[in-house]
Structure formats: structure tokens, C-alpha cells
Amino acid sequence: MTTLAPYMFALLLLLPACTGHVFPSERCRVSARIESGTVCGVERIADGDVKYASFRGVPYAKQPLGELRFKELEPADKWDYYYATDEGPVCYQHDVVYGRLMRPQGMSESCIHANIHVPMEALPEQHPDVTLPGLPILVFIHGGGFGFGSGDADLHGPEYLVSKKVIVITFNYRLNVFGFLSMNTTAIPGNAGLRDQVTLLRWVQRNAKAFGGDPREVTLAGQSAGAAAAHLLSLSPAAEGLFRRAILMSGTATSSFFSSSPAYAQHIKNIYLQFLGITSTDIEDIQRQLIELPAERLNDANTKLIDQMGLVTFGPTVESPLPGVTTIIDDDPEALLSKGRGKNIPLIVGYTNSECETFRNRFEAFDLITKIASHNFLVVPPKLLFTTPPESWSNLVSRMLGRYSDGRMNMDGFVKSCTEGFYEYPALKLVQKRAELDGAPVFLYQFTFESPTSIIKEVTGLSYAGAAHIEDLTYVFKANSVLEGREGAPQSLEDLRMKNFMTDLFVQFMSCSKPICDDKRSLWPENNGDQIEVIEAPGVLRTNSRSMRQLEVVDFFDNLPSRVNVV
């Protein structure tokens, strides 16, 4: 016992260098050799008993701790062997929407991790003497209002897609105050979360071949705030050449559920500093406190902020050029679109017909209707409040109330205004603008499928007509957090057929930049600014022109700011 003690002590001394993830090579049966070292994953089973290699919780950069809290990410430290079988902690957040859909394994600032899922036969380490053609890669940006969520397999299970011979990459990026607080300085420039996403895309370019992927065939996709981020990156020179096409699910760079105005960034920063108890007026002193305070203090203040604001607090903002800082958003997204930015990137743009039903519980818990009665400007999309003079707000309110209520807003009216204003209008307007630019093809869908066993209805406990926010996502990624807990058959036959249909559309778009590669009958034609493909049942595409209601929606929001002074 005593003779073994020194050796046991020496072994214990070695463990900190291997904390949680680094193990000897003999433990590494599924591996990939990337720029940081050998990463060790595990073999898992996808749909149809397809085997895939899963590398979870892989650092794609150095963790942003201490002085790096708000800075652009630095390269990851090197390692010999990194054991990546489990997802890391989620980034600091206060979740007000996902609930049961998320099963986080703790929260931390050390959250900069990617999850890479590869069909087993495509992994180069499985065929050391053979060079195989690289597979298409889907990089997916999770949603959550820029303030919460993660790339974990609880909601973003790769099993559906990876079984169809594509590589799936999800990841975490800094959120809320950590990811989007802007002081407009080199120390805290803002848009850190977007810079994380660019860092991840660059990492994918450098390491794609190690996982059997083709770096020339990267498709960027996202849902909700993740879709808005993906679209913003398509407009940014910082991401040029890092992906070939994009899929936007319920979000665009011009969505009005957030404001990219620097005035908004200043406003939300000031409110946040009050919650944090920082009263200094010296910018260097403020920055020092923000960098030195414990992360838990920052997150607690963010919790109070989101509980006051409702859903969205910090978000992307238009930047001023700063030395040593990669600029992501160099102008208002509307202006960038008008200039033709991103017009050569093929797009799928989608939304559901009952988007904001998913948020009804949150709106009720927030007591939104009572708050609107006291502060009626809350009926106006946030984006407009920071691009319209305050003296015009009363007219904006009158027009919104005139369309969505009888003068006093109720919950049904607000949910409808949220669906049309935050999601439907931006999608319709984006495809209209892209058609005018004569660039790469754009394909628009409206998802209306009413599942007999809807995951979102199960989680929210609500009953509503149509499909709500996140609902289409559950047929592209496997919501393991819900499906694993269901008794009996986890999905109906209709659900399984819709899953196959939606994933086929994704995989084909990843291959040929069209949702249906061999589309000789024009089942889904390129959008001319007027067409909408309605997905109402598995395998069914109904090509519609814009309805009278949709034309009214576009006209209303097009002219809402310009008519406020003549109401």
C-alpha cells in the first residue's frame, strides 16, 4: 500500500491536465485528427440503424475567460487526445421559452464547443488507406432570441439528417450580455456571439476534411434568432466564402423582433448597468467591472433584464469600425440587402403559419396584455421604435391597434400581430427583395402541418390551429428531450413521413442548391417574389401566389412607418 502511494499520488497530479476530456490513445476507438490534436468520439446509432461517429463538446476556440470575456475568440489550446463523448455546459442564460425541450448539463463561460456528427463510413480514420470524396456539411445555428438555447442534441438531435449521408455540426456561441453587449469599444465591441459563429465557420473550413467533409459544400442554417444570425452572416464580408448556401427557418436579418440600431444597443446597455448596480460614468471603469465581475452576477442581472423585457434583450447591432476587431455588421441590414449583399447565396426561407402560439405561455406569464394597457407602445415591433421618432409612436400604436384589435389589445390579437409582423412579413419581404436583385435562387415555404402528436403542443400544453414556432424544426432535428420520454410509439406515421420529407428537402438543397434536385415537373419553382410553397402534409407541396391577406400584411408593414404622420 505504501509503495504504491507515490505512484497513485503522481497519477493524481496528472489528472488536472486531462480534466474531463483527455485520455490515452488506447481509449480512442472513434477518432479524427484535427488542428488541435486527436479528438475521440463514440459510435452512435441514427435512424434506420445507421452508424455514425459523434464528437460532442469539442472546443472550437479558447474559452473566453477573464480578459477574454467579450473579446474575439482565440485559437484553442493544443492537446494530444481529447475525449468528446459528452456535450459541454451551455452558455450562461435565462431560458424563458424552451422549458422541457432543453436538458442542459450545467452553465458556464467555458461553453465554446461544437458537436460534430459524421456517418461512420465517411470518417477518414475508418479508411486510412483510401481517400473518399467529402460529404456535404450542415452547420446549424440554434435559436433562442440571442439570449438562450444551445446546440445540444436534446432539441437538435442529428439522427434524422446524419442517416442521410451528410455531416451535421451544431455548436454553442456566447449569448445575451456575454454575446451581444455593446460598448462600441475595442474592449467590448458587441456582436461577440456573431464573431463566435464566424470563428466556428472558419474552424469548419480548416477541419472539415478531418471529419470526412467537403469544405466547399457547407450549408449554413438556423432557426429563429439562429436564422437571423445566418442571414446576417450572408450579408457580412467577414463570412464570405465560409459557406455556400443558407436555410433560414423563422428568422431573417430584417426580422423586427430585434433591433440592430446602435441606439437600441445603448438603451439596453444602460438598463442592464442599472440592474447590475454599476453607476460609474467612466467607460474604462465600467468595462473593468464588467470584465472582473463573476459571471453569475452578470447572468443574474441578465435574468432580471429579460424578466422585465419579456423575450429579447441584447442582440446584433450595426458596428462602427474598431481597430483589431472583425466587423460583422457594417450597415443596417435593410441597406445591405438593397445594395445586393448576399445575393449570390442560394436561400431556403421558411416560416410557420401560427408562429407565436409557442410564446403564448410566456406572454401570459409576463402579463403582457396588462403591460400593454399601461405602455401601449409595446404593441409596436421593437425594430420600429428605434427607427421612428418618439413623437410618431402614438400613430404607430394607433395603426397597430387598428389592425389587430378593436382598440384594446387582447392576447389573440397580439399573437397574430407577432406572427405576421415578426415572422411572416420579413420572410415575404426578403424573397421579394431577392427576386428584384436577380441573384441566386430563393425558395420560400410556409409550414402549416398540424401534427397529431405535436411536440410543441405537448411541451406548451396549448391547443391551436396550424403549426407554431419551432414546429418545423422538429422534423429536421430529433427532439430527444421529448421523444425519449414518450410512452409507446414516440411518433405517428404522419410524423415519420413528414420527418422524411423535410430532411429530404434539406439534404437535396445541400447537394444542388435546390430543395428538389431532379425537379422536372417544377414541383418547387424558384421564387419570383410572389410564390409560396405551402407544406401542409407529408410529401405535399402546394404552390400558391400570395393571398389577399398576405398582400395586406406586406402593404401594412411596408407603409407602417411612412404613414404614421398622416393617421
The terminus-to-terminus CA distance of the chain in angstroms comes to 89
Active site residue 43: no
Residues in Cβ contact with 417 at an 8 Å cutoff, skipping those fewer than 6 apart? 379, 400, 403, 404
Coil, strand, or helix at residue 422? helix
Cβ–Cβ contacts within 10 Å for residue 340, how many? Answer: 15
Active site residue 320: no
Each of the 567 residues of the chain gets a pLDDT tens digit; together they read 444 444 443 443 333 333 345 444 456 889 999 999 999 999 999 999 999 999 999 999 999 999 999 999 999 999 999 999 999 999 999 999 999 999 998 999 999 999 999 999 999 987 777 777 899 999 999 999 999 999 999 999 999 999 999 999 999 999 999 999 999 999 999 999 999 999 999 999 999 999 999 999 999 999 999 999 999 999 999 999 999 999 999 999 999 999 999 999 999 999 999 999 999 999 999 999 999 999 999 999 999 999 999 999 999 999 999 999 999 999 999 999 999 999 999 999 999 999 999 999 999 999 999 999 999 999 998 888 888 888 888 999 999 999 999 888 999 999 999 999 999 999 999 999 999 998 999 999 999 999 989 999 999 999 999 999 999 999 999 999 999 978 766 788 999 999 999 999 999 999 999 999 988 777 898 888 899 999 999 988 999 999 999 999 999 999 998 654 443
Are residues 280 and 286 in contact, defined by beta-carbon separation less than 8 angstroms? yes
Burial class (CB in 10 A: 0-12, 13-18, 19+), 367: exposed
Active site residue 156: no
Catalytic residue among 31, 36, 224, 417: 224
Residues in Cβ contact with 129 at an 8 Å cutoff, skipping those fewer than 6 apart? none
Q: How many whole angstroms separate alpha carbon 118 and alpha carbon 353?
A: 33
Are residues 99 and 131 in contact, defined by beta-carbon separation less than 8 angstroms? no
Q: How many whole angstroms separate alpha carbon 2 and alpha carbon 381?
A: 71
Are residues 358 and 424 in contact, defined by beta-carbon separation less than 8 angstroms? no
pTM, full prediction: 0.94
- Spell out the domains of the chain, with CATH numbers in brackets: 23-335 (3.40.50.1820), 346-566 (3.40.50.1820)
Catalytic residue among 109, 319, 355, 533: 355
Catalytic residue among 259, 451, 469, 481: 469
